[in-house]
Structure 1
């Protein structure tokens, strides 16, 4: 089934609710349709008490667990005005002098007393999805990857809905050789819910649309051919004009036949045959 109305509704509500965003990153916009409710998440849009949305005003989020330190920023690249990462190798994320400034997530592991850094995410490699499809109020999960085919690292950040304020990140999980996960609570993880009434016309509406488009294309091509190649002018330029003119009469006759068929003969109607008494 093809759903039309929710998509159109989403488009217009997006224009009304978020006409301008200081960080217009389309990867941080996500919508989820559940029954007649449309959950609209726009992590980078300004909200009350948070003019930068989900973005950390420090320029980055930081969490350190044991010998591992993680820096990341959601919906944008990281900016370090203080406490920059110190890594022995940061070639793919800004180099030693600008380490962390050219990626959106970076992890440092202490190996033999040296901090070895790996890029976990870039702004162009971001995917957003709801954490729990059965309970969209929970929040969303933002997945980012480095995009390096040789060392494909990634970070999954669960943004839990909390209207009270920001909490975390405090935990860090290692899911593989170079795959990490963390979570934080933020009001931007709460969706704006739009009630969507109806599911569109479905396949019937799609069929009608296709037929009307084909009919319009036929008329346009026919008119152009008769006008430019046959030199016909005036109303006669419409192809099969007699047929189109007869449509109202045909429709009226068909409706009349159907009415007589279902209502039966009228009171004033006299049958061709008369009963004969023997």
Structure 2
């Protein structure tokens, strides 16, 4: 919320601006039960309340319109957000223009700053670290596959070590095994080198189209 006061002798006018650029305001919080004409309409993003004379609850019903193409080249350039199509009781069209400025040192809960309100256009400036973008470079195609293979190998090794650790603990507590007997499925692992050797021999014969008999 932004509160702006102006001296209008013999009275003092206060302008309250309720801002919600991300989602519509909660309409139930701004209803005036004594005056049916003064209320917060559905899908309202910016609400102006005038506390002077008989004026109150001038609504700015709005839709989003994003802008500023310079953000493509400069990730820290101000982000402009325009809310338009708002109409008051007199049929005058209104706009609300947000300028989000990158400020990494600013507190996240820092309030926006009122800039001006002229001819139905409300201008608000908001310094926030959330407006600071980050420009990413082109991806390195050479590291893409290598990174994926490294992740796969790491996960595979972790699974193997987990399997061996759980199997060794099981053999120790159940069978009181020691030494090489702790290895789970020891006979299988002992035969692994021979299985790999036979597999390569089979692939070699299939690749070269070997025929006939092999020596015994």
Bigger RCO (CA 8 Å, 6+ sep): 1
TM-score (norm 2): 0.47
More strand by share: 2
TM-score (norm 1): 0.38
Please tell me whether Structure 1 or Structure 2 has the larger radius of gyration of its CA atoms.
2
